[in-house]
Amino acid sequence: MFEFLFKYSREDYARSELVFAGDWPQWLIYGLVVLFVVAALAGLYRHRGNSSAAQLATIGFLQVLMVAVIVIMLLQPTLTTERLRDGENTVALVLDNSESMAHGAAESRFVVARRNLEAAVVTDDTPNLTLRRYELGESSVAVESYLDTVPDSAATSVAESLLRILDEARFSPLAAVVLSSDGADTSGGLTADELDEIAAFGVPVHTIGVGRSAMPEDIELSDVTVPDRALPGSTISARVTVQHDAASSTRIKVYDGDDLLQLVPLELAGDVSSTTAWVDVEVGEAGPHELRFSVDGNAEEPELRNNTRATLVDVANQEYRILYFEGEPRWEYKFLRRAVAGDEDLGIATLLRVSPNKFYRQGIDSAEQLQDGFPATRDELFTYDALIVGSVEAASLSEEQQIMIRDFVSERGGSLLMLAGPSGLGNGGWGQSAIAGVLPARLPATTTDSFHRKKAGVTLTPQGADSQMLRFAAAGDENRDAWRELPQVADYQLVGSLKPAAVTLINAETDVGQVPLLITQPFGRGHTYILATGGTWRWQMSLPVEDLKHETFWRQLLRGLVASAPENVSLVATGNPGDTDLTLRAEFRDDAFNPVDDVAVTVVVSHDTGESFTVAMQPDSNEAGVFLGQITPPQSGTWYFEALAERDGEPIAVGRTSILHEAGQAEHFGFRSNSGLLQRLSEATGGQYFDTDDLSALPDLLRYSSSGITETEYRSVWDAPAFFFLLLLLKAGEWLLRRRWRSI
Lowest mean pLDDT among 221-230, 252-261, 503-512: 221-230
Q: Say what the pLDDT of residue 415 is.
A: 96
Q: Say what the pLDDT of residue 579 is.
A: 60
Report phi then psi at 180, rounded to 5: -115, 120
Give the mean model confidence (pLDDT) for residues 484-511. Answer: 94
Reported as type and span, the H/E element at residue 309 is strand 308-315
Nearest to 727 by CA among 74, 71, 70, 76: 70
Q: What is the pLDDT of residues 169-193, one digit of tens each?
A: 777 788 889 999 999 888 878 888 9
Give the mean model confidence (pLDDT) for residues 12-16. Answer: 68
Q: Is 385 helix (H, G, I), strand (E, B) or coil?
A: coil
Q: Is 361 helix (H, G, I), strand (E, B) or coil?
A: strand
pLDDT for residue 650 is more than 60: yes
**What is the number of residues in the chain?**
744
pLDDT for residue 590 is more than 60: yes
Q: Residue type for 466, please?
A: D
pLDDT for residue 44 is more than 80: no
The residue ranking higher by pLDDT, 58 or 80, is 58
Report phi then psi at 336, rounded to 5: -65, -50
Nearest to 306 by CA among 425, 217, 436, 426: 217
Q: Say what the pLDDT of residue 81 is.
A: 66
pLDDT for residue 403 is more than 70: yes
Percent of the chain with pLDDT over 90: 34
Q: Is 33 helix (H, G, I), strand (E, B) or coil?
A: helix
Work out the pLDDT band at 87, boundaries 50, 70, 90. Answer: low
The count of other CB atoms within 10 Å of the CB of residue 267 is 10
Q: Say what the pLDDT of residue 49 is.
A: 63
Map out the domains of the chain with their CATH numbers. Answer: 2-83+713-741 (no CATH), 86-211+673-708 (3.40.50.410), 219-315 (2.60.40.10), 320-563 (3.40.50.880), 569-666 (2.60.40.1930)
Give the mean model confidence (pLDDT) for residues 417-432. Answer: 95
* 578 alpha-carbon distance from chain centroid: 19
Give the mean model confidence (pLDDT) for residues 332-350. Answer: 88
Work out the pLDDT band at 572, boundaries 50, 70, 90. Answer: confident
pLDDT for residue 529 is more than 70: yes
Reported as type and span, the H/E element at residue 642 is strand 637-647
Q: Say what the pLDDT of residue 709 is.
A: 59
Q: Is 449 helix (H, G, I), strand (E, B) or coil?
A: coil
Q: What is the pLDDT of residues 664-683, one digit of tens each?
A: 777 888 888 999 999 999 99
pLDDT for residue 708 is more than 70: no
Work out the pLDDT band at 82, boundaries 50, 70, 90. Answer: low
How many whole angstroms separate alpha carbon 163 and alpha carbon 169? 10
The count of other CB atoms within 10 Å of the CB of residue 720 is 18
How many whole angstroms separate alpha carbon 677 and alpha carbon 656? 39
For the chain, the average pLDDT equals 85
Q: Say what the pLDDT of residue 121 is.
A: 67
Give the mean model confidence (pLDDT) for residues 394-404. Answer: 94
Give the mean model confidence (pLDDT) for residues 658-663. Answer: 78
Lowest mean pLDDT among 33-37, 327-331, 471-475, 617-621: 33-37
Q: Residue type for 654, please?
A: V
pLDDT for residue 126 is more than 70: no
Q: Say what the pLDDT of residue 550 is.
A: 93
Q: Say what the pLDDT of residue 83 is.
A: 65
Can you give 584-606 as a three-state secondary structure string?
Answer: EEEEEECCCCCECCCCEEEEEEE
Report phi then psi at 484, rounded to 5: -65, -25
pLDDT for residue 124 is more than 60: no
pLDDT for residue 167 is more than 60: yes
pLDDT for residue 444 is more than 90: yes
Across 329-450, where does the E strand assignment appear? 346-355, 358-362, 386-389, 415-419, 441-442
Q: What is the pLDDT of residues 292-302, one digit of tens each?
A: 999 998 878 88
Alpha helices, H only, 447-602: 462-465, 476-484, 537-542, 549-563
Across 444-576, where does the E strand assignment appear? 451-452, 457-460, 492-493, 497-498, 503-510, 513-523, 526-531, 569-574
Percent of the chain with pLDDT over 70: 93
Asked if residues 492 and 548 have their Cβ atoms less than 8 Å apart, the reply is no
Q: Residue type for 249, please?
A: S
Q: Which residues, 6+ apart, have CB-to-CB distance to 637 below 8 Å?
A: 607, 608, 609, 660, 661
Q: Say what the pLDDT of residue 743 is.
A: 57
What separation in angstroms does the CA of 335 have from each of 365, 429, 534, 730?
21, 26, 11, 99
Rounded (5°) CA angle 269-273-279: 70
Q: Say what the pLDDT of residue 122 is.
A: 60
pLDDT for residue 542 is more than 80: yes
Give the mean model confidence (pLDDT) for residues 443-469. Answer: 91
Work out the pLDDT band at 329, boundaries 50, 70, 90. Answer: very high
Work out the pLDDT band at 138, boundaries 50, 70, 90. Answer: confident
How many whole angstroms separate alpha carbon 217 and alpha carbon 215? 5
Q: Which residue pairs from 22-26 have beta carbons closer than 8 angstroms and sit at least 24 positions apart in sequence?
A: 22/74, 22/75, 22/76, 22/718, 24/74, 24/75
